[in-house]
Structures are given as C-alpha cells and as structure tokens.
Amino acid sequence: MPLTPYISFSGQCEQAIAFYQQALKAELTYKITFGEMPKSEQESSADEGCAAGQAFADNDIAHAALRIAGSEIMMSDGRQNQADYSGFTLSLTTEDVAQGKIWFDALAAEGRVTMAWQETFWAHGFGMVTDKFGIPWMVNVVKASPAA
C-alpha cells in the first residue's frame, strides 16, 4: 500500500484544491464537506473540532483527495487553528524539463522560492518552493543514472 500525505489547511482547503488543480493539473478524486457528512459523523467531528478549539462550518472540507502526477495527496480543513508546516517537503518528479519548470513556476506564484530553478549534477532541472499555502515543494527533473 502506498504512503499518502495528508495535509490540514485551516479553512483554506477549497482554495488549495482549486490552486493545485490549476497549477499542477491535479484531479479531484473525492471531496466531502462537513455539511455533507451523515448527521452522526458530522456531530462527532464537530465535537472533536470544538474540543480542539475549532468549529467547522458546513462548507469546510472534511476530506478530499487529489491525484497529482500519478500520486495522491489527501487534505481537509482539519483541526489546526494555525497551519505550521515543517519537517517535510512534497516532491514532484518528472523526466520532462518543460513540465518541471511549469510546475515550479506555478507553485511559486504567490509563494516563496527557497532554491531557484537550475540544473544540478543530479537533475536537468531542480528547484524548491514554498507555495502560497505554506506547503514546501521540490520539483526534480531526473537525469538518467550512469551505467553501472
């Protein structure tokens, strides 16, 4: 079974979904709001949110899944009052330099470049960016491994 990142977006999940669909051509494979959940599950989640100091609106995202470049990420409006993303980076890899640059530039829009797009000894193109939601990304255009 694959390892799948799950990101909490403190009330910005709907905007993040739209951004990743536009920037990365992500495919929305599932989305449910707190208002769409069965009543008993909605009450349970609302109780958990209140205990954590956060109330959920009916249109807040309870759970969503996106397919990006053949992989999946999951997300929600979550339990965090203030998103603080540290200790991880999402990595996008391709063999197409043009595609890598498109992803990098799209993620950098309204974000912060932490390593400029460039060729490296391991990649035809590589760059690091923190997107406008605070999510850190690496975009890597792989070079073929040298023959053994």
Task: Give helix then strand counts, H and E, for the chain.
Answer: 3, 8
Report pLDDT for 80: 58
Q: pLDDT at residue 29 above 50?
A: yes
The domain 1-78: what is its CATH number?
A: 3.10.180.10
Which part of the chain is CATH 3.30.720.110?
A: 89-148
Residue 50 has pLDDT above 60, yes or no: no
Residues of CATH 3.10.180.10 domain(s) within the chain? 1-78
pLDDT tops 60 at residue 52: no
Q: Which CATH class is domain 89-148?
A: alpha beta
Q: For the residues 103-117, what does the mean pLDDT come to?
A: 97
Q: Residues 100, 140: contact at Cβ < 8 Å?
A: yes
Q: Average of pLDDT values for 43-67?
A: 72
pLDDT tens digits, one per residue of 63-91: 999 999 999 999 999 765 566 788 899 99
Is 39 a residue whose pLDDT tops 80?
no
| Entry pTM | 0.85
Return the minimum-mean-pLDDT range out of 43-57, 86-100, 102-116: 43-57
- Distance of alpha carbon 45 from alpha carbon 30, whole angstroms: 18
Q: Contact, 7 vs 135, CB < 8 A?
A: yes
Three-state SS sequence of 68-113: ECCEEEEEECCCCCCCCCCCCCEEEEECCHHHHHHHHHHHHCCCEE
Mean pLDDT of 126-143: 96
Token readout for 121 is 């000894």
